A and B are shown apart, each in its own frame.
Chain A
Amino acid sequence: MWSWDYAMEVSLVLLRALPAALLAAFSGFIIAATVGLAIAALVRSRFTAVRRIASGVAHFIRSTPLLVQLFFLYYSLPMLVPVSMTAFWTGAIGLGLHYSTYMSEVYRSGIDALPKGQWEASTALNLSKRRTWLSVILPQAIPPVLPIMGNYLIVIFKETPTLSAITYIELLLRAKNEASISYRVFEPYTIAGIIFIVVSLIMSFLVGRLEKGWRRRTSA
């Protein structure tokens, strides 16, 4: 049932799909981190309408499945507007938008943890809203939540197989293709799973390093 020779062979094939999976994950993560930050700021806007719309949109995105969003972006959206995105960009943007709503909550927890006095001192010094965010709030709110953000990178990476549904060739789709060629179902999926575990472990090790480095810097 299990052939070591074939396992070795399929490992090399699957590893060649790893960069594509990582690229989608990192791109999605960067989009999620950026859009999430925008949402976190918008839900604190002094304009009620802006707050309502931002939290409404975030709630909507979070409560629909990623797969549905990906199908919509990839198959339905081009019918409505004359844009067609590659599977990669659809995947990155889909992952990014979906996880931006979670990321905004991460930012929110960092921002809420700051004492009210930091905002008040900024007002008393007449700092602009932009300056307050950039120089006072975010430099204090983000470092403590970096580890949680790092964990979302891992979560997003583990979600990349969903992109196989929109024909993006990442680990799972490559494994599936291999299985359909060789008619062997054990090795490709097992190896794919192992690659996910190993990469996730490496990522969480790096996130841990990041956290420790930050702790050392702030306790100094």
Chain B
Amino acid sequence: MTQLAQDNEGILESQAVWRQGEECLYGEKGKPLVEYRGVTKSFGDLEVIKGIDLQMHAGEKLAFIGPSGSGKTTLGRMLMTLERPTSGSLSIDGVPLWQMQDKKGRWKPANEAHLRAMREKVGMVFQHFNLFPHLTVERNVTLALTSVLGLTREDAGARAESMLEKVGLLDKLSSYPSQLSGGQKQRVAIARALVMRPKVVVFDEVTSALDPELVGEVLAVIKEIAKEGETAMMLITHEMDFAREVADRVIFGAEGLIVEEGTPEDIFERPQSERLRTFLNRLQEVRD
């Protein structure tokens, strides 16, 4: 065996040991895709996230429910790098998002270059769509493909078209956002986020700005994409039926803490805490 091959052998062996170690640490599912560890967030004196530990695995669909003001949006925005945690650590694929090591191995706050590298793995769909109103539907979807991923206009166009076909808007390629209904706008926004093929997408109450009759078409699109399975989804939502149907796991948070988590059945059929029972009952009352 050559020296190089021996070295390689050694490296492979130590990686295997490392992986075993990780399995002990993280259980059979292996290393989480996203991990919040003791994350807190304050706005001035107001502490809105009070210490969150949470793991998401590749492809996992996680629904996040809870009363208004409980910090759901803030949690998702920290993952999208729109908000910096006050303390704790948040990592993607085992790499801290908000910290980085300098040449001497010391930890320091992440700089823009580090954040840009990490952001490739994350996407977000916003409550108010946030489409670019001066660009056509097609350009909304291709802008980041050409300027961030460096695709040619043709390749980007092809990829955008197949994505827009999935959300049922192929005929709107050359329309402007102002010419679309709310539901259509949100479907474009979903296409725009997913076309980048992120590993995890934050959906922040993507139907709550829509007229009731338009909610269904957007949820249907998300369900369809969820079935494909590759992308992990953090679904922040008030649509309980939707959460129950799509999510692998549901998390109920209140006042900046996770109160209860489990399968949709656990959460909706067998709520353990008084807070969750009250929350679900109140939703039920509103509906009836």
Contact = CB atoms under 8 A, between A and B. Distances in A.
A135 interface: yes
Given A121-B126, A125-B143, A139 B134 contact: yes
Given A140-B133, A140-B134, A124 B82 contact: yes
Contacts, number: 61
A48 to B, nearest CB: 14
Nearest to A136: B132
Given A118-B130, A121-B130, A139-B134, A46 B112 contact: yes
A126 B82 contact: no
Given A124-B193, A128-B148, A117 B130 contact: yes
Interface in B79-106: 80-82
Interface stretch (B115-123, B159-167, B229-237, B265-273): B115-123
Going nearest first, the 6 A-B pairs with the smallest beta carbon separation are A117-B130, A121-B130, A125-B144, A124-B124, A126-B119, A131-B147
Interface in A115-170: 115, 117-118, 120-121, 123-129, 131, 135-136, 139-140
Given A124-B126, A131-B148, 15 more contacts: A46-B112, A115-B130, A117-B126, A121-B130, A121-B131, A123-B80, A124-B80, A124-B122, A124-B123, A125-B192, A128-B116, A131-B147, A135-B132, A140-B133, A140-B134
B128 interface: yes
Nearest to A46: B112
Contacts of A124: 80, 82, 119, 122-124, 126, 130, 193
Interface residues of A, number: 18
B147 A127 contact: yes
Interface residues of B, number: 26
Interface in B126-141: 126, 128-135
Nearest to B147: A131
Contacts of A121: 126, 130-132
Contact of B130 (A120, A128, A129, A139): A120
Contacts of A46: 112
B144 A126 contact: yes
B119 A123 contact: yes
B39 interface: no
B126 A126 contact: no
Interface string A81-125: 000000000000000000000000000000000010110110111
Contacts of A123: 80-82, 119
Nearest to A121: B130
Contacts of B134: 139-140
A126 B81 CA distance: 10
Contacts of B80: 123-124
A125 B148 contact: yes
Contacts of B148: 125-128, 131
